[in-house]
Amino acid sequence: MDDLYKNEIELTLKDFGEDGRVNHAEFQNKLHFICFYMPWCPFCTNMVNEYKKLAEACSTELDNLLVVGAFNCLQLKDEENDESEEGKQSKRIRDYYDIKGYPTIKFIYQENGKEKQIRYQGERERDDYINAACEIITNKGSQNQQPQQQQQQQQPPHIMDGGVFDVLESYRQRFFGGN
């Protein structure tokens, strides 16, 4: 049961920096979802299959333009005043990602050179995650354009339209360069 999300990139405490942000190499300069979960949580166990489908789609159909990770929050120390290094790191992660319940699903993207995160609260189907990511980056990218350009790009592509790869690739090129 501890390996609910074993097909995704399973994060550990060591994969987070001193500021609480994920610093795992696979997540650098990429759009990503992170699910903070507890193996005993029925809501977490109910979403496992669709989250695995999301991870599979991102690694195959979307060429890893969107990375999917999971963090088992049993690794976090519960004591608020724990002064050990693990206790401090647990607090930084909880604070940075605002983890108050399970699952906490975050979508992380870049805007104006800074990392931004949004708590994902939509439906928990594979296509819903991908469509939400496209909607977020389409809307964020269009905020800096002229009104006529905004009008043309207001509707993000739906995964079934086949334009998702283009939106994610365009975002990667715009914010991270050609890598």
Mean pLDDT of 38-47: 94
Domain edges within the chain: 9-176
Bridge partners for 153 per DSSP = none
- Could you give the C-alpha distances from 95 to 21, 88, 89, in angstroms and in order? 10, 11, 10
Q: Provide the whole-model pTM.
A: 0.79
CATH entry, 9-176, from 2.60.40.10, 3.40.50.970, 3.40.30.10, 3.30.565.10:
3.40.30.10
First-last CA distance in the chain: 36
Cis peptide preceding 157, ω within 30 of 0: no
The predicted-structure confidence for 98-155, as pLDDT tens digits, reads as follows 999 999 999 998 877 788 899 999 999 988 998 888 888 777 654 444 444 444 444 5
Q: How far apart are CA 93 and CA 33, in angstroms?
A: 15
The predicted-structure confidence for 55-90, as pLDDT tens digits, reads as follows 888 888 877 788 999 999 999 988 777 888 888 899
Distance of alpha carbon 167 from the chain centroid? 16
